[in-house]
Chain A
Amino acid sequence: MKAIVTVIGKDRVGIIASVCTLLAQYNVNILNISQSIMQENFVMVMLVDIIGCKIPLVELSEQLAGLGAEGGLSIRIQREDIFDNMHRI
């Protein structure tokens, strides 16, 4: 199953590293990353494969949100279906 990780917030050193470390820790494979600065905000979108993830998605979502809260970022993971359904027929 695929999911989308989004990270939004003020840019600083090590954002990508910390998110990737957490994902690797739970065996989440990163398939694609795109990153940009929009209106002075750091915006990163990752496509990840959670099929081998060691913990349930709900728990991973809480961990990512927690990591975001520490660094003043909004980090979320959502199943890819929601975006697919909304933007593709």
Chain B
Amino acid sequence: MLSQNEIMQTIQMIDQQHLDVRTITMGISLLSCAHSETKTACDKIYDKITGYAEKLVATGEAIEKEFGIPIVNKRISVTPIALVAAAAETDNYVPFARTLDRAGKTCGVNFIGGFSALVQKGMTDADRHLIASIPQALAETDIVCSSVNVGSTKAGIDMDAVALMGRTIKDLAARTADRSGFGCAKLVVFCNAVEDNPFMAGAFHGVGEPERVINVGVSGPGVVHHALQSVKGEPFDVVAETIKKTAFRITRMGQLVAQEASRRLDTPFGIVDLSLAPTPAVGDSVARILEEMGVETCGTHGTTAALALLNDAVKKGGVMASSSVGGLSGAFIPVSEDEGMIAAASSGAITLDKLEAMTCVCSVGLDMIVVPGSTSAETISAIIADEAAIGMVNSKTTAVRIIPAPGCKVGDMVEFGGLLGSGPVQAVHTASSKAFIDRGGRIPAPMQSLKN
């Protein structure tokens, strides 16, 4: 029999510490939808998505009520559209994005990801068409998310794609200037992108994945923060153990929800992504966990070490709690989506350079960072290149989700709303990277790639 204490502990985690299942994401393969006629391909895509994910939202809501655990988002990820649309005789892929938008809205999901291309070793014609379609596609749709993988440890970094993505991000920001460049919040540039990520904006359904799959992302920065408050002043061994135990509990809950969703939707269970994903709500911040460990403000000296411990302990605690761990799994450090990060960035305590250092040890990369609208495409490309290099050399996923907010300057506050939060405009280096980006070509894969 469970003790009253244990039951109340769980209730408090949900009620006061923002414990939730962040997302149930259904991955759907669209490879069977390829067709030379765009309209036929789009019709097949719409029918397949709405057929498979018809009951996704209702099932998620039922599980939410029966278990009494909030499931914040229900999402869909699909095969990278560049692969599906390659057969179509068109160079405009915007209709594919509109179809995803329509299908996602019919299913009632919050986001649909996979308007994507994998170009780490070079671009096909279809990849070029997709990237060229991104600005219009994301400006004209509401819930479609896009990602482009420009590098990997195995392939190196495609610097032509990196240069192209800098211009694409600028174009997208300009097209959504009335919403402070909001479109860029739906676009991620990856190195070592994972095929089973349930989190947006970077989710897509990889080609190695089955026909359809259920992936679940758990969260709970507030729970970890609360647990650490009970070990104030204790050595780091104790801190690591406390985080591990907490991550274990959170992940067990995610595993239960994932299995239940998989059973009810008659869809194979893929993975649990055990990520600490913050929200702008007070008490749901990763930055505050780092501060609880003893750094006065997130961003000061010691922050990277604190984050390294957190990221590692979360994985170690979670890995035994789930039959299959995957996705990004670790601690996210988005700026605009984290109340503590917003405070640290607003006060100038955390800079872009420190964030870049932190991405060496966090689960992903530079996330939801707002920079001045005057930032050049080449500077954005160079930021992407730096981040991709960190991922490539360290055999980890890194990403850049950056918003050059049109008309905004350093210190301004940009409001995105909802889970995307609000971000202060942060300074970038002013010296030019143009000649560096103009070179193009490919940065060869590092020695780490030669493992065979």
Binding site for B on A (CB under 8 A): 4, 6, 8, 32, 34, 36, 38, 43, 45, 47, 57-58, 61-62, 74, 76-88
Contacts and interface: CB of A to CB of B under 8 A. Distances in A.
A6 B2 CA distance: 13
Interface of B: 1-2, 4, 6-11, 15, 62, 65-69, 249, 252-253, 255-256
A4 B6 CA distance: 12
Contact of B4 (A36, A57, A82): A36
A43 B3 CA distance: 13
A6 B69 CA distance: 14
A58 B63 CA distance: 9
Contacts of A88: 2
Nearest to B2: A83
Contact of B1 (A32, A57, A74): A32
A49 to B, nearest CB: 14
| Secondary structure class of chain B's binding surface, majority of residues | helix
Contacts of A6: 7-8, 11
A58 B67 CA distance: 9
Given A62-B65, A85-B252, A86-B6, 5 more contacts: A6-B11, A32-B1, A43-B8, A45-B8, A82-B256
A46 to B, nearest CB: 10
Contacts of B67: 78-79, 81-82
A4 B2 contact: yes
Given A58-B62, A61-B65, A87 B2 contact: yes
B253 A82 contact: yes
A45 B68 CA distance: 15
Given A34-B4, A87-B2, A82 B65 contact: no
A85 B255 CA distance: 9
A84 B65 contact: no
Nearest to A59: B65
Contacts of A84: 2
